[in-house]
Amino acid sequence: MISFDYYQKIIHCLKQPKSGKAIGIDAKFHFWCKKNFKIDITSGIEILCSTKNDRRIVVIESYFAILKDIHQKTGHGARDKMRHEMNEHYYWMPAQVIDIFLQCCISCIVRKSIKLSVTPTAIVSVGFLTRLQIDLIDFRTRPDKEFQWILHCRDHYSKYSWDYPLVSKEAQGVAEHLLTLFYQFGPCKILQSDNGREFTANVIKNL
């Protein structure tokens, strides 16, 4: 890995015809720079490139900006796509840096958790309203006037809950209260219910 200061030091060394104590450049370092790097002038800007493949040398300070740009261009591509794109244009970035970047991408984490929700694995939530669990509580034996059901909504990540009275357990009434919740806090990524997929589908249809 090369820092910006070291990057500038290499460029300065390449501009010197020879090494020596008089100019403060070690002979081994001068030889190493000449062997591995060259200066390319693009639009009046000095860019350090590799002599092996002509690709641009990446400094540590630019890692995040470059990885973010590549990740977006590849449509939030996985490791192999990003490595391929990186190797087309840049050089001197460790492969493990890409792995660390991907582990920190919230969009990829959420998308991965949504895909995994189809299989019977442990439920994972990575943020507020990533997964909203809804349940209908039967109060027909103890009604409050016309209200015989309670819609219980629970955010799986924060464990925060909302309760709404219902006249019936029809999907339309449930959808109306969910809209109120979504208008206030934003829509959830996953809507989960113990009342079955058909009930959940009808609720979504009425939203």
Rounded mean pLDDT of 116-121? 55
Q: Which CATH number fits domain 119-206: 3.30.420.10, 3.20.20.30, 3.40.309.10, 3.90.226.10?
A: 3.30.420.10
In this model, does residue 83 exceed pLDDT 80?
yes
Distance CA 40, CA 37 (A): 10
Tell me what the mean pLDDT of segment 137-142 comes to.
91
Average pLDDT over residues 106-115: 73
Residue 182 pLDDT greater than 80, yes or no: yes
Q: Where are the domains of the chain?
A: 4-103, 119-206
Mean pLDDT, rounded, of the chain: 88
Residue 113's pLDDT is what?
64
For 193, half-sphere exposure in the C-beta direction (CA atoms, 13 angstrom radius) is 23
Integer Cα distance of 96 and 100 in angstroms: 6
Bridge-based pairing of strands 90-91 and 56-57 is parallel
pTM greater than 0.75 (yes/no):
no
Q: Using one digit for the tens of pLDDT, what is the confidence trace for 48-62?
A: 999 999 999 999 999
pLDDT digits (tens, 9 = 90+) for 151-177: 999 999 999 999 999 999 888 999 999
Structure confidence at residue 1 (pLDDT): 85
Closest residue by Cα to residue 163 from 134, 203, 193, 206:
134
Q: Select the more confidently predicted residue: 153 or 104.
A: 153
The pLDDT of residue 117 is above 60: no
Reduced to 3 states, what is the DSSP secondary structure of residue 28?
A: helix
Q: Report the percent of the chain where pLDDT is more than 90.
A: 60
Residue 43 — very low, low, confident or very high, per pLDDT cuts 50/70/90?
confident
Residue 128 has pLDDT above 70, yes or no: yes
The pLDDT assigned to 19 comes to: 82
Highest mean pLDDT among 21-25, 42-46, 106-110, 201-205: 42-46
Parallel, antiparallel or unpaired: strands 149-155 and 37-42: unpaired
What CATH number has the domain spanning 4-103?
1.10.340
First to last CA, the chain: 51
Instruction: State mean pLDDT over 134-160.
Output: 93
